[in-house]
Homo-oligomer: A and B are copies of this chain.
């Protein structure tokens, strides 16, 4: 076993132990760490569906959007106008897109988003926090995975749900999570030359 593998195994063991300590304090009801990953559709839209459920249950929500463009301006406006009371909406990644060449700016945007995320998660008035596309920022190491996992396991209030979306979820996050779903693409209309459709894709 080489050094990298040994360090990785040791790290996973630490995460599992921290998780086990947290779980040992639970009695069947708890806020969950939820991950939506995979190449298929529905990672963000199912999280938004969960927000609708939370609102129906009177549970205040917050969204931190780490990637620009996943939700259109019109939709953010709609959420802010229709659900402004029930759901706070933050965009950290205005400049954080797939095309940007400015790594420093992207890192600053991701870190700014993470600072907002921590505030919202710590806020006892908030019961559900969506970190939309944070996995992209973690994948490129714009955010430190150890810091994020450690925060979730030690500082997340017991009854708060946190949902983290995006492709390529890191193994450390999957290890720490309670509920992980992989959205797998079985068939996609882009392959047939059909462009993205309002209401489905965005």
Using a CB–CB distance below 8 Å, which chain A residues touch chain B?
A: 23, 26, 28-32, 34-38, 40-50, 52-57, 59, 72, 74-75, 78-79, 82, 127-128, 161, 174, 177-189, 192-195, 197-200, 202
A197–B45 Cα gap in the complex (Å)?
A: 19
Interface contact B32-A189, CB-CB below 8 Å? yes
Q: Which residues of the other chain, B, contact A186 by a CB distance below 8 angstroms?
A: 35, 37, 174, 180-182
Known A-B contacts A49-B46, A75-B53, A187-B178; A193 and B59 likewise in contact (beta carbons under 8 Å): no
Contact of A181 among B29, B40, B72 (CB under 8 A): B40
Interface contact B45-A49, CB-CB below 8 Å? yes
Contact of A47 among B37, B49, B192 (CB under 8 A): B49
**What's the nearest-Cβ distance from chain B to residue A89, in Å?**
13
**Main secondary structure on A side of the interface with B:** mixed
Q: Which residues of the other chain, B, contact A50 by a CB distance below 8 angstroms?
A: 45, 199-200
Q: Which residues of the other chain, B, contact A189 by a CB distance below 8 angstroms?
A: 32, 178-179
CB nearest neighbor in B for A198: B57
Interface contact A197-B161, CB-CB below 8 Å? yes
Interface contact A41-B179, CB-CB below 8 Å? yes
Q: Which residues of the other chain, B, contact A184 by a CB distance below 8 angstroms?
A: 38, 181-184
Q: Which residues of the other chain, B, contact A181 by a CB distance below 8 angstroms?
A: 40-42, 183-186
CB nearest neighbor in B for A169: B186
